[in-house]
Amino acid sequence: MLPLASTDSPSLAAHGLCFGYAGEDVLHDISARFSPGTVTAVAGANGSGKSTFVELLAGVRNPRRGRVSRQGRLALVVQRPSTPDALPVTVRDVVAIGTWGRRARRARWADRQAAIAEAIERVGLTGLEQRTFGELSGGQRQRALLAQGIVQRTEILLLDEPAAGLDAASRQRTREILAEEAARGATIVCVTHDEESIAAAGHFIRLDAGRIVD
């Protein structure tokens, strides 16, 4: 397994990223390059800066110093969305949100419905389409969010702990889905504590106290 995804033509790259809270940096001069068709695992202890790093890559946060370059559309799969349990959105609604982009809106209605159904089937939630998000278990919520990410078919897919709360079979299926997305040419960057996911990734980055370590 290679330590860092690198190519002369990366679709996603971080250049000297620094980020801090209240004047104290939690990420220090992070540089990395990510190639199309690869899965990169971002590992490290809690508090090492993994989620912050992925949020910077996604543009959710802005670095104090440095920059991120992106080539292509990007989707971010979060771990804990700020969605009230009482909000009456169904599994299908959650996945359909992924089709709201400009390119997806131009697709035929029937094609969008087929893409939503396929994404739900790929994550193993067929039959639960009308279940509300608040009624789902933690693992089922995570799979619904994964379906929302993959239905977009973006060039870059970033994921924050997609295997959190999943059983062994679902973790294995998640690894297979990420490999399938990479096989179609997507750039995959995945924050994970799952050692099997780290082992299955083609590349990895390990963070410690906001710095890349070997």
155 SS3 class: coil
Predicted pLDDT of residue 86: 66
Predicted local confidence at residue 106, as pLDDT: 64
Residue with tokens 């996603």, as numbered in its chain: 12
Mean pLDDT of all residues belonging to the chain: 89
How sure is the predictor about 7, in pLDDT bands with cuts at 50, 70 and 90? very low
Average pLDDT of the segment spanning 131-138: 90
Given pLDDT bands bounded at 50, 70 and 90, which one contains residue 4? Answer: very low
What is the predicted pLDDT for the residue at 207? 95
Predicted local confidence at residue 104, as pLDDT: 56
**Percentage of the chain exceeding pLDDT 70:** 90
Tell if the pTM clears 0.75, that is, is over it.
yes
Buried b (16+ CB within 10 A) or exposed e, 182-214: beeebbbbbbbebeebbebbbbbbbbeebebee
Q: Which domains does the chain show, CATH number per domain? A: 1-72+155-214 (3.40.50.300), 83-153 (no CATH)
